[in-house]
Structure formats: structure tokens, C-alpha cells
């Protein structure tokens, strides 16, 4: 009796029977069918390979095909196979050529698409910048009217630095009185933790809550400086590589004013703590005082013969300290634009940063040869020097308690100095490639923010980091704390202002 496979209708070499349908199958075929469908091919019921039952049957000899019984038939069969192989090879070559042409066309389309995307991205950035200045209720910045003092910025040689007016007894008395009041207030605050101060655990949970990429021109990317209004921290001022300073309200997300006048990038900005006044500096050798309400430059201070590198506002709110690559520091009146005092560093190297002590009677400067110098403002003398950094000093910041000074340089380290003992008691060593661009204590002196390759927040006294953000895509150039450290603001060379909060 010959068995016939239910699938191929031929005599099976390894016959098996399906217990589901009772039909005989070739094992090889039924196993493939079950693996693909899991069912019996006859009645569609579920069937597993293990259920198949082998059938013991005598082997069957298959007859040879008549075409394979003679030499001419074999030669013809071989010729047919060769012809089929050649035709298949020809078809494959045609398909390969077509695929190459399609791939080449796709690559050209991809390249053209990338160029279009790049152009559109640039145009979108420009449009966003324009839209930011046209938001409802946003004040349209007034264009400053040219003055005689601005002639130097249209290609004529720069005006010579202003002659110093001198520190009068009245000014010295004013500085002393303000320092006395601030010292007493600081001692009172130092005994208790400020009410409402954010905890370290809350800062640890900070995340990016806003990002604003359209405050400055996209054609010259980069924001170099930031400051907040102390009384109203919704107001932010930024200085950009596009030669402008922008006043921005983070709550309404509106550009309040664009301050135009510098002929080079704006590298430092200060928002007056109690008035709507902004002070800016630039490598164009000038320090400018702006009235934000009308976007007008009220004073131009020409204290330096070379680039201005540091800027700090005195606690009285009436005077500004500036440093420059001309190896001098200057003390100027922002109300009149007069330079009251200008003193040479005496070291023969450029000054890179400057910062007033919270009391305002002393200040610190950093140099290009890694020195930090403490100066007495009234006596205009260098009273102490701190050494230990390697490389140019890039940032300094006094703690609100008046006892600590944080400094950073090109050696990828942040050093904390005790002003009472005049020594370094803590060094935070960062990664070898880390570039520190800015330092900032919060108003209570509890936290220290570091800006550079990323944004970090350290808890003072413990000096361990509780927050690190890598959201910026380029070097972070500035960082500031909001009131009671409830938020953190940073700017970067990626042209964005980012805000962090819980």
C-alpha cells in the first residue's frame, strides 16, 4: 500500500500521521507548516510537532524521470540550467545599476534637504528674535540718539580716558557710613537662616523650567554676562556678543529694552539693585550707564585706555569699579560719569576681574598671572595678595557673610579663601578640561553656583555639589541666584537664557 502526502500528493520519505485530522504527511513539510501556522493544514485545528505519529512503512523507490535516462536529455537539462543562471545574473546586474542610481539620487536629495534645513533654522532664529520684541504690551526700545561722545564708535580713534576727579572727604565719609550700616545688618542676618530660603534637597530636584534662545542676534551667537534686579528678580539683563545688552522680563517673557551703543561685545552687565538702571562694559574701553525706561545711555565712563575686563557696583549704588587690560582699576561715579580714582596694579600684567566686598570698603581684583589682590578703597592701596592658582583668574565672588572669597582660574579649580586668616581653606578641583567662567554666592551665602562647562551648585561649609546641569550646548558664561535661591538663571555661548527651578 502506498501512502500519499496530504500536502504534496507524493509518496512521503518519512510519513507521519496527524492525530487531529488522520491524514498522512511528509514529516519535513508538515513540520514547516506547523512552525509557521501552528495548525493542521486540513481542518485548521491546533497541532503541535510532538503530536505527530511516525508511520513505519517499507521504503519506496522513486522512478527516474524519462528525461534523465539518456545523454542528450542530460545535456539539454544542463544547458537549460546554464541559461537560467545567465539570465538571473543579467537581471541582478540590472537591479544593481538601478539601485546605485536611486541611492545617488537620494544622497543628492539629502544634501539639498540639509542645506534647506540649515537656512530655515537660521531664518527661524532671526524671526524669533524679531517676534520677541513685538510681543503684546512689550515696550519698543528707543534708539539712542548719537552724541559727541559716540563719535569714537564710528571708526574715529577712541577718546582718551577721562582725567580723575579725586576721592573727596565727602565721598569717603559716604562710603564709610554705608559700610557701617551694612556691617551691622550682616551680623544680624548671619545669626539666623533667612526665612524662605530653599533647602539643598529642593535644589537637588531643580530642572530646566524655561529656555529663551532669542534675546540676542543669531548672526553673532553668544551671551557673555547676566545679572538680576535684586528687588524684582523677574527682570534679567544679559550682555551679548552682538554688542547689545537686553533687558528681559522672565515672568511675562517679554523683551523690555535693547540697549545699543557699544562698538564691541558686552562682557559684563549689572542691574542696579533698587533703580531701573543697567551698567555695562565692553572691550571698546567704555563703561556705559543706561536708563532702562527709555533705553537711553545716560553716561559713558572712559576710565581705561584698553579693554574693560571687570565690573562691580558699590553698595551705595552710586559708584562702579572697573578693571582693564591697561593694568589699572578705576572707581567712577555713575551719576556724573566722572572717574574719581584710577590706580595702576603695579604688577605689569592685565587685570581680568573685579568684585566689591559686600561692605564696599575693600575689593578684589584678579590678574592674568594668577594673582588675587585685595585693595583698600579709601587708601587705594593693595593690602593683601592670594596666590595658588595656575593661569589667568577668570571669576571671583564674595560671600554675603563677608568672610569668604571664591576665586577661579584657568587651572580648572575653585578656591575658597578666608579673609580673616588670609588663607585658602578649601579647593574644589574640577575635571581637567573644565573652564570656569563665573561664580556667584546666593544672597544668604549658603550656596555657591559655578558656571563653565556646565552649571553646578555647591552647599557652603560642606562644599559638596547638590545640582549639576548639562542642558546648555556650549560653555556657560554666567549664573545668578533668584531671591532666596528659589530659582537659578544661566546664560551660555549657545545664545540661550535658561531658568532652573523645582
DSSP letter string, 383-417: EEEE----S-EEEEEE-TTSSEEEEEETTSEEEEE
Measured from the Cβ of residue 186, the count of other Cβ atoms closer than 10 Å reads 16
Q: How far from the centroid of its chain's Cα atoms is residue 438's Cα?
A: 13
Which secondary structure element, helix H or strand E, spans residue 42, and what is its range?
Answer: none
Q: What is the C-alpha end-to-end distance of the chain, expressed in Å?
A: 85
Rounded CA Rg of the chain:
39
pLDDT score of 19: 93
Question: pTM of the prediction?
Answer: 0.66
Of 313, 397, 386, 382, nearest in space to 343 by CA: 382
Instruction: Indicate whether 61 pLDDT > 80.
Output: no
Instruction: Indicate whether 158 pLDDT > 50.
Output: no
> Confidence band (pLDDT; 50, 70, 90) for 431?
confident
Average pLDDT for residues 403-418, to the nearest whole number?
A: 90
> Confidence band (pLDDT; 50, 70, 90) for 149?
very low
Q: Is the separation of the CB atoms in 455 and 469 below 8 Å?
A: yes
> Confidence band (pLDDT; 50, 70, 90) for 62?
low
Q: Residue 222: phi, psi to the nearest 5?
A: 130, 125
Query: Percent of the chain beyond pLDDT 90?
Result: 49
Which secondary structure element, helix H or strand E, spans residue 31, and what is its range?
Answer: helix 27-37
> Confidence band (pLDDT; 50, 70, 90) for 90?
confident
pLDDT score of 160: 53
CATH number of 15-61: 3.30.40.10
pLDDT score of 183: 83
Instruction: Indicate whether 135 pLDDT > 70.
Output: no
**What is the CATH T-level fold of the domain 148-501, as seen in this structure?**
Methylamine Dehydrogenase; Chain H (2.130.10)
Question: SS3 for 374?
Answer: strand
Average pLDDT for residues 129-138, to the nearest whole number?
A: 60
Q: How far from the centroid of its chain's Cα atoms is residue 66's Cα?
A: 81
Amino acid at each position: 500500500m502506498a501512502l500519499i502526502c496530504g500536502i504534496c500528493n507524493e509518496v512521503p520519505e518519512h510519513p507521519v500521521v496527524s492525530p487531529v485530522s488522520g491524514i498522512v504527511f511528509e514529516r519535513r513539510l508538515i513540520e514547516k507548516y506547523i512552525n509557521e501556522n501552528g495548525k493542521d493544514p486540513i481542518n485548521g485545528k491546533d497541532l503541535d510537532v510532538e503530536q505527530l505519529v511516525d508511520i513505519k512503512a517499507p521504503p519506496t523507490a522513486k522512478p527516474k524521470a524519462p528525461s534523465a535516462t539518456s545523454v542528450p536529455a542530460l545535456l539539454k537539462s544542463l544547458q537549460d540550467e546554464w541559461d537560467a543562471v545567465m539570465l538571473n545574473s543579467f537581471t541582478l546586474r540590472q537591479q544593481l545599476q538601478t539601485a546605485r542610481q536611486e541611492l545617488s539620487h537620494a544622497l543628492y536629495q539629502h544634501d539639498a534637504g540639509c542645506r534647506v534645513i540649515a537656512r530655515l533654522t537660521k531664518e527661524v532664529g532671526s524671526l524669533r528674535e524679531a517676534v520677541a520684541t513685538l510681543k503684546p504690551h512689550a515696550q519698543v526700545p528707543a534708539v539712542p540718539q548719537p552724541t559727541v561722545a559716540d563719535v569714537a564708535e564710528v571708526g574715529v580713534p577712541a577718546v582718551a580716558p577721562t582725567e580723575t576727579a579725586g576721592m573727596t572727604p565727602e565721598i569717603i565719609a559716604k562710603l564709610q557710613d554705608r559700610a557701617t550700616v551694612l556691617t551691622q545688618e550682616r551680623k544680624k542676618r548671619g545669626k539666623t537662616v533667612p526665612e524662605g530660603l530653599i533647602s539643598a534637597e529642593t535644589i537637588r530636584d531643580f530642572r530646566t523650567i524655561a529656555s529663551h534662545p532669542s534675546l540676542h542676534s543669531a548672526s553673532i551667537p553668544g551671551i557673555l554676562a547676566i545679572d538680576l534686579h535684586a528687588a524684582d528678580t523677574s527682570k534679567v539683563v544679559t550682555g551679548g556678543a552682538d554688542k547689545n545688552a537686553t533687558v528681559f522680563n522672565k515672568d511675562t517673557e517679554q523683551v523690555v529694552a535693547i540697549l545699543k551703543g557699544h562698538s564691541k561685545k558686552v562682557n559684563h552687565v549689572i542691574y542696579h539693585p533698587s533703580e531701573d538702571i543697567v551698567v555695562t562694559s565692553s572691550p571698546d574701553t567704555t563703561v556705559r550707564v543706561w536708563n532702562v525706561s527709555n533705553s537711553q545711555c545716560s553716561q559713558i565712563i572712559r576710565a581705561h585706555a584698553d579693554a574693560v575686563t571687570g565690573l562691580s557696583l558699590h553698595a551705595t549704588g552710586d559708584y562702579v569699579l572697573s578693571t582693564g587690560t591697561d593694568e589699572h582699576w578705576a572707581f567712577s561715579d555713575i551719576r556724573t560719569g566722572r572717574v574719581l580714582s584710577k590706580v595702576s596694579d603695579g604688577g605689569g600684567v592685565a587685570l581680568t576681574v573685579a568684585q566689591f566686598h559686600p561692605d564696599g570698603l575693600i575689593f578684589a581684583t584678579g590678574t592674568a598671572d594668577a594673582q588675587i589682590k585685595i585693595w583698600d578703597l579709601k587708601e587705594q592701596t593693595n593690602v593683601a595678595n592670594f596666590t595658588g592658582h595656575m593661569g589667568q583668574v577668570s571669576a571671583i565672588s564674595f560671600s554675603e557673610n563677608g568672610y569668604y572669597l571664591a576665586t577661579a582660574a584657568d587651572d580648572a579649580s575653585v578656591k575658597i579663601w578666608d579673609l580673616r586668616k588670609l588663607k585658602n581653606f578649601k579647593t574644589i578641583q574640577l575635571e581637567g578640561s573644565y573652564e570656569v567662567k563665573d561664580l556667584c554666592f546666593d544672597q544668604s551665602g549658603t550656596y555657591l553656583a559655578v558656571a563653565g562647562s556646565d552649571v553646578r551648585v555647591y552647599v557652603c561649609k560642606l562644599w559638596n555639589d547638590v545640582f549639576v546641569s548639562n542642558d546648555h550646548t556650549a560653555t556657560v558664561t554666567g549664573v545668578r541666584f533668584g531671591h532666596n535661591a528659589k530659582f537659578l538663571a544661566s546664560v551660555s555661548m549657545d545664545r540661550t537664557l535658561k531658568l532652573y527651578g523645582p
